[in-house]
Structure 1
Amino acid sequence: MPTERERLCCKRLPPHCVSRLEEFQVVVLNELILAIARAYRNDTLAMDDEDDLSKSNRYAAYRQFIVWQHGRLGAGNRCVIPSCCVWAIRDRYPDPYGQYTGFHPSRLE
C-alpha cells in the first residue's frame, strides 16, 4: 500500500484472514449484494451509478466492509480497511489501468 497508514493488517493467520472468510465473500465481494447496496445508496441520495461498473463495485465493496466490520460511521468518520481486504476487492473488481485512489482521511483530521 502506498502510505504507512494504509499498511494495515487484519492480524490473523493466513487461513483465518478476514479476506478469506465466507462472510467477506458474501457481504463484500458478491456482485448481487453490491448491486443492491448501490441501488439503495443511489435511491437514498438520488445519485446515478458510475459508468464504470468495476469502480462502482469497488466503492460499494469498501462501504460494505466498513458497515460489516464497524457499522455506520457517519460523515467525516473514516476507517482504514486492512490491505488484505483492499487487495481482495481490487482483485475482484480491478481498474483496467491499475489506478486506485487509496484511503482519504477525513478533512477534520
Structure 2
Amino acid sequence: MTADKHRSGFLFEPQRQYSSEENESDDDITVDNSLNNDRTDNLDWCQCENCIIMPSRIESVCCLENVDICRKMDDVNTCIVLKDNYKKLCLDKEVLEVLMSSIKEVVGEDLREPISNRLYRYTAYRSFTWWIYGKLGRKVRRVIPACVVTCIRSHFPEENGIYEGFHNVDRDTDIPDESL
C-alpha cells in the first residue's frame, strides 16, 4: 500500500456533501467593502461588539460576518460567544476533556494530567470548528472569529500572555507538541 491511502482516518473517507444553498454562497466570510481595508488598527469591522484588534488582517473577522456561524444562531444580532451552545461546546471543561480523550484515543495515547490551558484552547478551537463547519479534512483551515478567540483565551489564558495566531496550511501545525 502506498502512503496516500493512509492520509485519512478511514480507507473510504466520506466526502462532505453541499446543498445547493451552500454552493451558491460566494465565501464563508462576507465583508462590507466600505470598511477600512486595514482591520488591524480599528474595530470598525466588528458587528458583535466583542472583538478585539488582532495582529493580522486575516484574524480580524467578526462572528456576524460569517454565514456558517450565523446559520447556527437564532438571533443573528447577538455574538456567538453569548450563546449557550457555544459556552457548552467550547468553554465547558468536561466537554473539552471528553474531546481531548477522543483525540488522544485516535492517536493511541492516554490523556496526561495536569491538562494545560494550551491544550484546552486547542481543543476549544477544534470544537468550535467542528460545530460550525463539520469535518473539514486534513490541512483545511478556517479562521476563527476574533470574538471567539478572545473568549477562549480569556477562559484558558497562557501564563506569559503570548499566543499563536492563525496558521496557514503551508505550516504543519496540526497538533501542539506537548498537547497530544
Return the match for 1:4 from 48, 57, 72: 57
Gap change, CA 1:47 and 1:4, over 3 Å in 2: farther
Taking CA–CA contacts closer than 8 Å with sequence separation of 6 or more, which of the two structures ends up with the larger relative contact order?
A: 1
SS of the residue corresponding to residue 63 of structure 2 reads: coil
d(CA) in 2 for partners of 1:102, 1:48: 27
Alignment-mate amino acid for residue 18 of structure 1: I
1:18 aligns with 2:80: yes
What's the offset of the Cα at 1:49? Answer: 4.5
TM-score normalised by structure 1 residue count:
0.90
Contact kept, 8 Å, 1:49 with 1:56, in 2: the verdict is no
Identity of aligned residues (%): 31
Tell me the alpha carbon deviations over residues 17-74 of structure 1, each in whole angstroms, 9 at most, x when there is no partner: 0011100000111000000000000011124557652111000000000000000111
TM-score normalised by structure 2 residue count:
0.55
Gaps of 5+ in 1: none
Aligned-pair Cα RMSD in Å: 1.7
Bigger Cα displacement from structure 2, 62-71 vs 98-107: 98-107
Gaps of 5+ in 2: 1-53, 65-75, 172-180
d(CA) in 1 for partners of 2:152, 2:110: 22
Q: Alignment length, in residue pairs?
A: 106
